[in-house]
């Protein structure tokens, strides 16, 4: 089961994309609901609002615990900002679950928001990917251990580190489900790894 964090933002758009892929998903509004999901999408929205609601609702402790216990995370736009290690413009709290720096609203205001096509490296091969940037943050620095998954205009726009996937654009607003498919596969791979490790499947150990 995939969860979509529904405190604030474009959670409905992520839900529509998961519906299209035929994936079971649920809205997540409380930390206790995290126990029912294997992967969590943190949608676009306002990162300042999202962080306030996450603090009030106990996600500040629950989200890192979810990740540490094998939960897979996917953040788009504001979701990227809250998962990043360092945030600029202005500096604000973030979970630091992916080792990169990000600058908020780096491409300008809404009149500078744009859609275009970038280049993704989802399965090792470079392919074009439609991208929608809305008051988007800019990934300033990918540090060692972080894999580049897409570029736009020479700059990184999607990256992964272990069980954390982030994008500065909104794949959920395009008609191309490949990024969500990639996340769903990350979740499936992690589930497999957990079931192989678990004592139920390996009674001898």
Partner 1 sequence: MSNADGNGQTGTLKLKVGLAEMLKGGVIMDVTNADQAKIAEDAGAVAVMALERVPADIRAQGGVARMASITKVREIMSAVSIPVMAKVRIGHFVEAQILQAVGVDFIDESEVLTPADERYHVDKFAFTVPFVCGARDLSEALRRIGEGAALIRTKGEAGSGNIVEAVRHMRLVTGHIKRLTAMPHDELMTEAKEMGAPYELVALVAQTGQLPVPNFAAGGIATPADAGLMMQLGAESVFVGSGIFKSSDPAARAKAIVEATTHYDDPDVLARVSEGLGDPMVGLEMSKLTERELLQTRGV
Closer Cβ to partner 1, 126 or 194, answer by number: 126
Q: Smallest distance from the beta carbon of 7 to partner 1, in angstroms?
A: 5
Residue position matching structure tokens 């999202």: 50
**Residue 180 is a catalytic residue:** no
- Which residues of this protein are in contact with partner 1, per CB under 8 A? 6-13, 29, 44-46, 48-49, 52-53, 56, 77-78, 89-90, 104-105, 107-119, 132, 134-135, 151-154, 170, 173
Q: Smallest distance from the beta carbon of 4 to partner 1, in angstroms?
A: 11
Other C-beta atoms closer than 10 Å to the C-beta of 117 total 12
**Residue 172 is a catalytic residue:** yes
Q: Smallest distance from the beta carbon of 186 to partner 1, in angstroms?
A: 24
Q: Smallest distance from the beta carbon of 16 to partner 1, in angstroms?
A: 10
Closer Cβ to partner 1, 59 or 95, answer by number: 59
**Residue 190 is a catalytic residue:** no
Annotated catalytic residue, options 170, 180, 185, 190 = 170
Closer Cβ to partner 1, 173 or 186, answer by number: 173
DSSP state letters, the chain: -EEEE-SSSSHHHHHHHHHHTT--EEEE-SGGGGGG-SEEEE-SS-HHHHHHHHHHHTHHHHHHHHHHTT-EEEEETHHHHHHEEEEESS-------EEEEEETTTT-SGGG-EEEEEEE-TTSS-EEEEEEESS--EEEEEPTT-EEEEEETTEEEEEEETTEEEESS-GGGSS--HHHHHHHHHHHHHHHHHHHHSTTT-TT-
Annotated catalytic residue, options 172, 180, 185, 190 = 172
Q: Smallest distance from the beta carbon of 149 to partner 1, in angstroms?
A: 15
Annotated catalytic residue, options 14, 77, 103, 180 = 77
Other C-beta atoms closer than 10 Å to the C-beta of 143 total 12
Closer Cβ to partner 1, 163 or 180, answer by number: 180
Closer Cβ to partner 1, 87 or 187, answer by number: 87
Residues annotated catalytic, as ranges = 77, 170, 172
């Amino acid at each position: 089961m995939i969860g979509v964090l529904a405190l604030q933002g474009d959670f409905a758009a992520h839900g529509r994309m998961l519906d299209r892929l035929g994936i079971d998903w649920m809205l997540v509004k409380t930390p206790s609901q995290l126990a029912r999901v294997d992967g969590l999408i943190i949608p676009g929205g306002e990162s300042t609002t999202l962080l306030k609601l996450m603090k009030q609702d106990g996600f500040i402790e629950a989200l890192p615990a979810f990740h540490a216990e094998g939960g897979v995370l996917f953040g788009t736009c504001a979701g990227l900002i809250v998962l990043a290690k360092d945030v600029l413009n202005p500096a604000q709290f973030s979970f630091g679950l992916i080792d990169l720096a990000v600058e908020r609203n780096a491409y300008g205001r809404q009149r500078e928001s744009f859609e275009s096509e970038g280049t993704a490296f989802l399965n090792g091969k470079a392919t074009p990917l439609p991208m929608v940037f809305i008051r988007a943050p800019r990934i300033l620095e990918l540090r060692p251990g972080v894999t580049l998954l897409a570029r736009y205009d020479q700059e990184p726009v999607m990256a992964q580190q272990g069980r954390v996937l982030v994008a500065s654009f909104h794949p959920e607003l395009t008609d191309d489900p490949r990024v969500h498919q990639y996340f769903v596969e990350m979740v499936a791979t992690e589930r497999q790894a957990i079931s192989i490790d678990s004592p139920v499947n390996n009674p001898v150990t």
